[in-house]
Structure 1
Amino acid sequence: MSSWWKSAVVYQVYPRSFADSNGDGVGDLPGIESRLDHLSDLGVDVVWLSPIYTSPQADNGYDIADYRAIDPRFGSLDDFDRLLAGLHERGIKLVMDLVVNHTSDEHPWFVSSRDGGPDGPYRDWYWWRPPREGFAPGAPGAEPTNWESFFSGPAWSLDEASGEYYLHLFDRKQPDLNWENPQVRHAVYAMMRWWLDRGVDGFRMDVINLISKVLPLRDGAPNGHGAHPGWLGDGSPLYTTGPRVHEYLQEMHREVFDRYPDRELLTVGETPGVTLDEAIAFTDPNRREVDMVFQFEHVGLDHGQGGKFDPVPLDLRDLKASLGRWQVELGAVGWNSLYWDNHDQPRVVSRFGDDGTYWRESATALATLLHLHRGTPYVYQGEELGMTNAPVGSIDDVDDVESRGYYFQQVAAGHDPQVLLDGIRAMGRDNARTPVQWSAEPGAGFTAGTPWLAVNPNHTWLNADAQRDDPTSVLAHYRALIALRHAEPVVADGDFTMLAGDHPHVYAYARELDGDRLVVVVNVSSDPQEVPLADLTPSAGDLGEVVLANLPDPTTAHAGDVVRLRPWEAWVRLARGTSTAP
C-alpha cells in the first residue's frame, strides 16, 4: 500500500508573517488558528510550522534558546495546543521544524558550555578549538579552520574568556552542536519525543545533513574572500553529508520514531548539497532514516558565478534535466519533496514567471508544472495566492541576516552597492517573508498594527479576499491541483516520463499507472509556442480528456498535428486505459 504522504500536500507556515492576532505586528499562534479554514478549504493535508520556540530571533527563530517553550512573541503552549487541536479537527497533521545542527548562543546548553570553561561538563556539547598554531587569539587568520559561514565571514567566533573559538556554520549566535557527543544526541531525541507525546505528527529537519563533521577538523579550499587573501575557504565538503550522518539518523529513528509504531508520522530532511545517490540513501525505506528530502539542485540553476545573489536567466532545458533525473532515479527507491517557494527562496512567480502582464497565467502554469511530478508538493504561505517579490529601495529596507551580511561584506570588498542590491531584490529571503496578503486593508489583513516587515504594496489587489470566490483565481487553481492529487492515484504513484525534452520553452511529461496516462503540458514563456503532437503522445490525438487547465478552451492538435500553446498556458489530460508502460 502506498504511504499516505505520497498523495499528501504540505503547507508551510512562517509564523512571523502569517497572521497577527494582537496587533503587535508579528504573526502568532492565535493568528494561525484564526486562518485554519483557509487551509482546510485549500485542501492541504499537513502544516509544516517554522520555528516558534523561544529565541532571540537572530535568524528569525532558527536560533533556538529553549526547545520546549514557545516564544512569547508567538503565544504560549496553551495556544499551541489549541492550534494543534484545531488542525486535527480538520484532518490536518502538524509537522514541527527541528533545528538541531545548532542552537542559539543563549540556549542553556551553550551558556554552560561557554561559562564552564574548557573543563566544564558541557564544553564538548559544541565545537570548541584553540587558535591556529602560531596565532594569538583574535588575530586575523587565527580561526581553527578557514571555513566561511553561510552568513558571510569566518565560521568561528572567539570566546575571549577562554581564548578558544566555537564553530557556527551560520550566524555567530548559532553555535553548532557536537553530534559526536552521545549526550547531545540523546538530549535531542528526548526533546523530539516530548513534542510527539504532545501530539505533533513529525518533523522537518533543518540542514540535517550538516550534523556530522569530518574529523579532525581541517581547512577547506581557499576562496579568496575576506580581508586577507586565502583566509576564508569552502569547508562544505568537510561537513555536508558527513561520515556519521546516516548512523545518526538511523539511531534517531530507533530512539524516537520506532517508539510510535501506531502513528502516521512524517520525517523530512532538509539536505543542502545532497547528491542523488545520497538522497536515495537518506530516503530508502529499508534504511529507516527519513521519508523524503529537500534538495536544492533545481533552485540553484539560476545562480551565476557569484552565487545566489548573482542571478542568471533560467534555461528550461536545464530544469528539465535536473527535475527529470531526480524523478526517475530517486523515485525508483526513495522520495522527493516538490517545491518552488519556502522561507529561504524568492517568490517563484517573480523568479521563473512573469509577475507583470502574465502574473496569473504564469503563477498557475508554474504550479501545474511542479505539483503533478512524483513527490510530495509543498505550498509556501502566499504561494497559493501568487504572491510576488517585494520592492526594496535600499539596504535599510532589508531585514534578512544573510542578505545584509552579504551586502556589507561585498561593499567592503569594493563591489558596486547597486549591483548588490539588484541581486538581493531578486534573490533575498525577505521576498518570502513579507506578510501574507489576506485583504486590501492597510495591514493586508495580516495585522492591525505596524508589520515587522513591510507588506507588499500590491496587496491592494493581490489578496485572499479577492480570490476566495473567484473560480479563475490562482487560489482556485491550487485547490484544483491538490484535489487532483488526492483523486488520482497516478499522480502519487505513477511512473514518470519527460516529453519534448529538447524544447526550450515547453515543459511536458507523462505519468502512467495501471493503464491510466496523465499528460502535463506547460508553456514556460510569455510567447506562444508550438510542440509536435507526436512528442506528447505515442498515439496521435490520444491525449485523453482535460482534467485541469489554467486558461479557457485548452488547445489541442491543429493542422499538421502541432499543438499550439498560448503564453503561459498549462493543461493536464487524462486518458484511461491507454498507458504505454510495460
Structure 2
Amino acid sequence: GYDIMNYRKINPEYGDMDLCDTLIDEIHRRKMKIVLDLVLNHTSIEHEWFKESRSSKDNPKRDWYIWKKGRKPTKERPGGKKPPNNWQAMITGSGWHYDPTTHEYYWAQFLPFQPDLNYRNPEVRKEMLDTVKFWCQKKADGFRLDIINALYEDKEFRDNPFCWKLIPSDDDEARLFRDPIHTLNHPDTIEFMKQLRSTIDGFKDKERFFVGEVSGSIDTLKKYLGEDADGLNLVFLFQSLTTPFKAKKIKKIIQLFEDNFPDPYLPTWVFGNHDRSRRMSRLGNNILKAKLSAALQLTVRGVPFIYYGEEIGMEDGFTPANNSRDALVHYFGWIPQFIHNLVYKFTKETLNRDYCRTPMQWNSQEHAGFTTYPRAWLPIPRTYRKINVETQLEDEDSILNCYRRFLKVRKVTPALNSGSLRLPHIPELSKKVLAYERIIKKGDKEQIVLVLLNFSNQGLRMPNPSPNLEFLVSTSVNNKPIAGSRIILNPWECVVLEEK
C-alpha cells in the first residue's frame, strides 16, 4: 500500500526479494520495462523509523518526522488542544495529529496513519536518495512518484492564507477557503526534483525516468521539470482526464500542452488512474468513444499513460462504502451511501476508489480469471463475461484490437512516436472534427501524418486536403476513408493518413 513499513523489502504477501529480482529479470528478458511506484513523502506509523520517532523527544529519529507543540495546552492535552497552525491535509481536516506519548502533534499530508517525513533533515534526504539508488541497482527502469508535490513544508510553520475557493480542482489545490502555499508545491520541493534527477542520471547502464504525481496549474507543473529540463522527466497532467470529450475542448488542451511543453519537454496524456473513475464509465460505456479516446491518446504528441483495463473498456465496479477496502472511504465514514451514489451519478467522481480498482478481467471464467481463490479481493463487474481479454482477442473489431492496431502503427511511424505536432487549417472542416499533423524530419524529407477525429455520432464527409494521402489505421475495421476528393469518417471514428 501507500503506508510504507520498509522501503527495501518486499511485503511477504507478494513474496521476497529473490522473487522480485526474478520478476525484474523476466520482464527485461521479454524486452519490457518495469516502473516502480515510489512513495517518498510519508511512511506508515508502523515503520520502525516512526516507532522510534514517537517514542521520545530525544530519540535520534525524532527529527525524521515533523513534530510540533500545539496551541492552548490543557490538563488533558498538555501539548495543546489546538493544532500548531491551520494546515489542512489533502483529504480535508487538519493534517496535525496529537500523539499522547510525547504530547506533540505530527504532520500527515494524507491519512493519519501516513506521517510525513521531514525533508529538512539531511539524514532523511540522504536515506531517500539512497532508496532510489537501491532500486536503480535492482535494475528498475523508472519511478512513479506519489504525491511528490508535498515533500517540503514552510520551515516557519506559517498559516496557509485565506482564499475564496471551496473545492479543489486539477488546476488549483486551494480548498475549504485555504490556499496551501506552505504545504504543497513548495519551492524547496521543486528544487529537490533536481537532486532526484541527478541521482538516476548518475547510473550509466541505461536511461531511467521519473513521472511525478503533481497537481496544480500548468505553470506550477512545468516547474517540476526544471528550467533546463533537469528536474523530473514527466509529470501527470490530470487536466486531460477531466477535459470534456468534444473536438473544441480537446483542441484547446492540445494547444495548451503544446504551448507549455515544447521540445525537449513532453506532455502526458492521462485518462484514468487508481484514484479516479474509469474512462469507459466517464464516456457512458460507449465503445466507439472509447476507441476514439484511445486513438487520441496514441497519436497526439506526448506520453500516453494507459490505466490497466482501459484497453478492454473495463467499467467502474461497485462496492458499498461499508464494505470498501479503501481507507479513504472509512475516513469519511459519516457520509451515507445515497450521497456517494448521487455524487457518482452526476459527476462520475467518487471517494470510493474501489470502483476503479477491481481485478483485471482476463477471461469469462469465475473471477474473470484473476484468481483461483474462492473470492476475488474486490467484486468484479458482472459485465466481465463479455468484457475480458480472451473474448476481445478473438474479435477483430474489439477495443483491445483497436489499441493493438494503433500501438503497432505508432511503433513503426517516427512522426507518431517522435514527431512534432501542428494544428492545420483545413477548409470546410466540420467543427465536430479535430485534425492535427505529426511531423518529423527524415533526412532531406519530412514525414507528415494527418490525424482526423470525428467527435460526432454522425458520419461525416470532408474535403481531401491532399491527393497524396495514404491510409495507415482507423478505429473502424472495415472503413476505407479515402474516396477520391473526399474523406469519409464514421461516427466517433479516428483515421490516420500519411502524406506520400
TM-score interval for Structure 1 and Structure 2 normalised by the shorter chain: 0.7 to 0.9
Tell me if the contact between 1:386 and 1:474 (Cα under 8 Å) persists in the aligned partners: yes
Q: How far 1:547 moved relative to its partner? A: 0.8
Q: Which stretch shows the higher mean deviation, 216-225 or 363-372?
A: 216-225
| CA deviation vs aligned residue, 1:46-88 (integer Å, no higher than 9, x gap) | xxxxxxxxxxxxxxx1111111111122222122112111111
- Could you tell me which residue of structure 2 aligns to residue 384 of structure 1? 311
Matched, 1:283 2:225: yes
| 1:156 CA drift (Å) | 1.5
Q: Within the alignment, does 1:401 sit opposite 2:327 as a pair?
A: yes
Give the 5 Å matches for 1:258-337.
258-273=201-216, 275-284=217-226, 286-301=228-243, 316-337=247-268
Whole-Å separation in 2 of the counterparts to 1:364 and 1:384: 9
Aligned with 2:435 (options 488, 508, 531) = 508
Tell me the amino acid that sits aligned with residue 442 of structure 1. Answer: E
Matched, 1:129 2:68: yes
Mapping of residues 364-375 of structure 1, within 5 Å = 364-375=291-302
| Structure 1 residue 434 corresponds to structure 2 residue 361 | no
CA separation of 1:333/1:279 partners in 2, compared to 1, >3 Å: closer, same or farther? Answer: farther
SS at 1:396 equivalent: helix
- Listed one character per residue, the Cα deviations across residues 3-25 of structure 1 (whole Å, up to 9, x for unaligned) are xxxxxxxxxxxxxxxxxxxxxxx
1:494 counterpart (387, 406, 419): 419
Question: Take 1:118 and 1:448, find their aligned partners in 2: how far apart are those partners?
Answer: 49
Cα shift at 1:113: 1.1
Question: What is aligned with 2:44?
Answer: 104
Residue of structure 1 equivalent to 2:342: 419
In structure 1, what is the Cα distance between the partners aligned to 2:78 and 2:409?
Answer: 59
SS in 2 for 1:91: coil
Report the secondary structure of 1:485's partner residue: helix
Look up the match of 1:234: 178
- For the Cα contact (< 8 Å) 2:69–2:80, is it kept in 1? no
Post-superposition CA distance 1:86-120 (Å, at most 9, x none): 111111121211100111111111111111x2232
Letter of the 1:419 partner, please give it: L
Structure 1 490/418 Cα, relative in aligned 2: closer, same or farther at 3 Å?
A: closer
1:264-296 Cα deviation digits (max 9, x unpaired) = 2222222222x3334444335844222111122
| Cα offset, 1:259, TM superposition | 2.9
Do structure 1's residue 249 and structure 2's residue 193 form an aligned pair?
A: yes
Give the drift of 1:402: 3.1
How far does the alpha carbon of each residue in 1:190-222 deviate from its partner, in whole angstroms, 9 at most, with x for none? 112111112222211112122122332233327
For 1:233 and 1:321, locate their aligned partners in 2 and report how far apart those are by CA, in whole Å.
29
Output the CA distance in 1 between the equivalents of 2:110 and 2:78: 19
Contact between 2:136 and 2:200, CA under 8 Å: does it hold in 1? no
Corresponding residue SS for 1:250? helix
Q: Which amino acid is 2:393 matched to?
A: R
- C-alpha distance in 2, partners of 1:421/1:292? 30
Question: Would the aligned equivalents of 1:528 and 1:564 in 2 still touch at CA under 8 Å?
Answer: no
* 1:385–1:285 Cα change, 3 Å: farther
CA 1:280 to 1:544, structure 2 compared with 1: closer, same or farther past 3 Å?
same
| Matches of 1:543 and 1:107, distance apart in 2 | 63
Q: Which amino acid aligns with 2:359?
A: P
Please give the per-residue CA displacement for 1:374-413, whole angstroms capped at 9, x wherever unaligned.
Answer: 1122222111111112245x4235333334545x45559x
How is 1:117-156 mapped onto 2 (pairs within 5 angstroms)?
Answer: 117-133=56-72, 137=77, 142-156=82-96
Partner of 2:8: 68
1:203 correspondence with 2:130: no
1:143/1:165 contact within 8 Å kept: yes
Letter of the aligned partner of 1:395 in structure 2?
A
CA distance 1:140–1:472, shift in 2 (3 Å): farther
Structure 1, unpaired ranges of 5+:
1-60, 226-230, 302-312, 577-582
| Partner Cα distance (1:455, 1:384) in 2 | 17
Amino acid at match of 1:113: S
**Structure with more relative contact order (C-alpha pairs < 8 Å, separation 6 or more):** 1
Q: 2:368 aligns with which of 417, 422, 444?
A: 444
After TM superposition, give the deviation of residue 322 of structure 1 in Å.
Answer: 2.1
CA-to-partner distance for each residue in 1:399-448, whole Å, 9 max, x for gaps?
33334545x45559xx9564245368654422321000001112110011
Give TM-score scaled by structure 2 length.
Answer: 0.87
In 2, Cα distance between the equivalents of 1:490 and 1:224?
43
Question: Could you tell me how far 1:348 is from its partner in structure 2?
Answer: 0.8
Q: Where do 5+ consecutive residues of structure 2 fail to align?
A: 168-174
Question: Residues 138, 321 of structure 1: CA spacing in aligned structure 2 closer, same or farther, 3 A cutoff?
Answer: farther
Q: How do 1:156-195 residues align onto structure 2 when only pairs under 5 Å count? A: 156-195=96-135
- State whether residues 315 and 504 of structure 1, in contact with CA within 8 Å, keep that contact through their aligned partners in structure 2: no
For 1:511-550, list aligned pairs within 5 A: 511-514=438-441, 515-525=446-456, 527-528=457-458, 530=460, 532-533=462-463, 540-542=465-467, 544-550=469-475
Question: Which residue of 379, 392, 395 maps to 1:470?
Answer: 395
Pick closer, same or farther for the CA change 1:119–1:224 going to 2, 3 Å. farther
- Provide, for residues 109-132 of structure 1, a one-character-per-residue CA deviation record: whole Å limited to 9, x for no partner: 1111111x2232212111111113
Distance 2:422 2:78 in 1: 56
Amino acid at match of 1:121: P
Q: Deviations over 1:457-499 (max 9, x none)?
A: 1111111111223332222221222222221111132221235
Alpha-carbon distance in 2 for matches of 1:549, 1:211: 44
Q: TM-score, normalised by structure 1?
A: 0.75
Q: Distance in 2 between matches of 1:484 and 1:203?
A: 27
Residues paired across the two proteins, number? 482
* Distance in 1 between residues matched to 2:343 and 2:466, nearest whole Å: 50
- Partner in structure 2 of residue 114 of structure 1: 54
Q: Secondary structure at the match of 1:199?
A: coil
Aligned to 2:404: 479
SS at match of 1:106: coil
